[in-house]
Structure formats: structure tokens, C-alpha cells
Amino acid sequence: MRWMETERTALVDTFRMADPEAPTLCEGWNVRRLLAHLVQREHMPWRRLMDVAGKAEPGHEKQLSALVATAQTTEGYQALLAKFAAGTGALNPMTWLGDAGQLLEYVVHHEDARRGAGPVEPRVLPEAELTALFKHLPLMAKLSYRASPVGVSVARPDSEGVVVRKGENAVVITAEPVELALYLSGRRAAADVHITGTDESVSAFTAWVGRNG
């Protein structure tokens, strides 16, 4: 079993226990809308593209709203959850992507649902899953910090960092993989990370990140 499947099962359990109206870390999205997003992304990607092209404010996406409308009742929500829980079929491109395309998505959105109402205790994940998750973080960091004014590395505690942006006066962002995933994906307020370097480099980096989302 790939880790994306383990994470999907855990996410389904969280969706099942959560209040569909509860807030998430995604601006404008409650738990119901987050679930609809995952179903849309995996089974109706053309509608996702239509929403992206429409540039609607979060919470007002036309195509996504139509899907959310089908899940307003308990039965509708459970049906949408069952569709997500069933996974993607053998011919679905999302299946071909495997952990490379799905693991980060599931982990980040899992925390979106868990932490939307405020801080919670971190989940205890298998070390092998954390290792797999960290493997996918440098590419995300390289894309996020390609224009950083200082060098950047990402690291797990007590481990050697991975350089994602070369440069002088570098900073190191250190955290467990789930926290790093949240920070790199823009959920900085909810992420427990440590940024080290010279005072000048840390100040320059955090100021740049604040300006650039």
C-alpha cells in the first residue's frame, strides 16, 4: 500500500467525525467545501480548471459550489465522503501519480481540517511515512523559494538540511515533515517551524515571505 492510501483512510475518518460546517485553514472553505474540493480535483478536474480560470474569491467558486450544494444534507455529505473514500480508479491520472502527486495534498488538507478551529496535538505518524513525506518537500520548497533573497535549506530536527535555494547568508527551516509541509504551502501561522541563520538573513527571509505569501 502506498502512503497516499494510508493518508486517505485517515483523512476519511477525520471527515467522518468533523462538523461539515467547521472552519479549515483554507480561506473561505469549511470542512464540507474542502471535501468537495478533493472530490472535484480527483474526479472532475475540468471543473477545477473552470473555477481556477474564473478567479472567484475563495468560497465562491461556481463549479465547486455546485458540488457543495449536493452535500448539504447528512446523506449528501456521506455520499460525497464515500466517493472520496473509494479512491481513484486505475485509469485516473491521479492514481498514476501515486505518492508524488497525492501524499502532500492529503497530508496538508488533513491538517487544514484538523487545525481550522485552532491548535491541536500533532498526529503521530509512522517514521516511514514521515520519510516519504519529507522526500517530496524539497521540490515544493524550490518552487516556493526560487526568488528568495537569501539561501534556503529545509531540515528535520537533528538531521542535515537539504539546500533548496543557493545563496549567501542562508537560513534553515527546521521542523518535522508535516509542519514543514504546512509552512511551505503557506499555512505559516499553523506550522511549528524554527528558522535559523544570522539575524540579517532571517529578517530578510521572513520579510520576503510575508510579502510574497
**What is the DSSP annotation of 109-165?**
HHHHHHHTTS--PPP---HHHHHHHHHTHHHHHHHHTTT-SS-EEEE-TTS--EEEE
CA distances from 172 to 149, 153, 181 (A): 14, 5, 15
Residues 87, 23, single domain; the answer is yes
Cα 3 from Cα 99, distance rounded (Å):
6
Full domain range(s) for residue 14: 3-115
Domain end, chosen from 85, 115, 145, is at 115
Residues 107, 133, single domain; the answer is no
Give the chain's domain count: 2
Looking at residue 188, which CATH number applies to its domain? Answer: 3.30.1050
Does a structural domain hold residue 79? yes
What are the pLDDT digits (tens) for 5-26? Answer: 999 999 999 999 999 999 999 9
Please give the model's pTM, rounded to 2 decimal places: 0.93
Q: 130: buried, middle or exposed (CB in 10 Å: 19+, 13-18, 0-12)?
A: middle
Q: Which residues contact 135 (CB under 8 A, 6 or more apart)?
A: none
Residues 131, 108, single domain; the answer is no
Residues 10, 107, single domain; the answer is yes
Residues 44, 84, single domain; the answer is yes
Residues 51, 148, single domain; the answer is no
Does a structural domain hold residue 68? yes
Name the phi and psi angles at 161, rounded to 5. Answer: -75, 160
- Where does the pLDDT of residue 90 fall: very low under 50, low under 70, confident under 90, or very high at 90 and above? confident
Residues 23, 96, single domain; the answer is yes
Residues 16, 106, single domain; the answer is yes
Taking residues 126-131, report their average pLDDT.
95
Residues 101, 158, single domain; the answer is no
**In this predicted structure, what is the pLDDT of residue 139?**
93
**In this predicted structure, what is the pLDDT of residue 1?**
58
Residue type at position 120: V
Name the phi and psi angles at 158, rounded to 5. Answer: 65, 25
The answer to whether 31 and 109 have CB atoms below 8 angstroms apart is no
Q: Over 80: is that where the pLDDT of 93 sits?
A: no
* Average pLDDT of the chain, as a whole number: 94
What are the pLDDT digits (tens) for 166-209? Answer: 988 899 999 999 999 999 999 999 999 999 999 999 999 999 99
